[in-house]
Amino acid sequence: MSQKSKPLEKNGATNINKTSVWSRAFTANSEWLDKEEFLDVIYWIRQVLGVILGVVWGVLPLKGFFGLALFIVINAVVLYLYYSNFQGVDEEEYGGPWELTKEGFITSFAGFLVTWIIIYTGLHYEKLEEL
């Protein structure tokens, strides 16, 4: 018995440490021993969110200041819900909510603008030009 349980324990222990960042990112209340890792997750979620919102805004199409403001609000709110409600991390550990809110924001904003402009130009403006 003791022989059997030993490797199990070992496996269990390594599994906790090595659970991939991916699965932890999508599991509620995961443990984040490495702050950098969690900040990276926040960073990449922001990038993906930026591109997705860019595509949606372009297809709809949303226009003007409203589109920009809505992106900023959604981006901040979604990530806030993610780290405070879903993951339940202590913001103070990461230097306050502002640090987490600005993590990857500018890059995400640029990615959003690029996709929004591209899709909008291709779907809605190109047609007008042809007419």
Residues lying near another protein in the complex (CB under 8 A) = 36, 39-40, 43, 47, 50, 57-58, 61-65, 67-68, 102-108, 110-111, 113-114, 116-118, 120-122, 124-126, 129
CB of 31 to another protein, least distance (A): 18
Chain-centre distance for alpha carbon 87: 12
Residue number, 82 or 112, with CB nearest to another protein: 112
Distance CA 84, CA 107 (A): 22
CB of 18 to another protein, least distance (A): 19
CB of 2 to another protein, least distance (A): 38
What would the two tokens of residue 17 be? 């440490």
Confirm if 37 and 21 have CB atoms less than 8 A apart: yes
Residues 6+ apart with CB under 8 A from 113: 54
Taken as a whole, the chain contains a residue count of 131
Which ranges of the chain would DSSP assign to H, the alpha helix?
A: 2-18, 21-25, 35-59, 64-80, 97-102, 105-120, 126-130
Residue number, 28 or 33, with CB nearest to another protein: 33
Residue number, 86 or 99, with CB nearest to another protein: 99
Residue number, 12 or 130, with CB nearest to another protein: 130
CB of 35 to another protein, least distance (A): 8
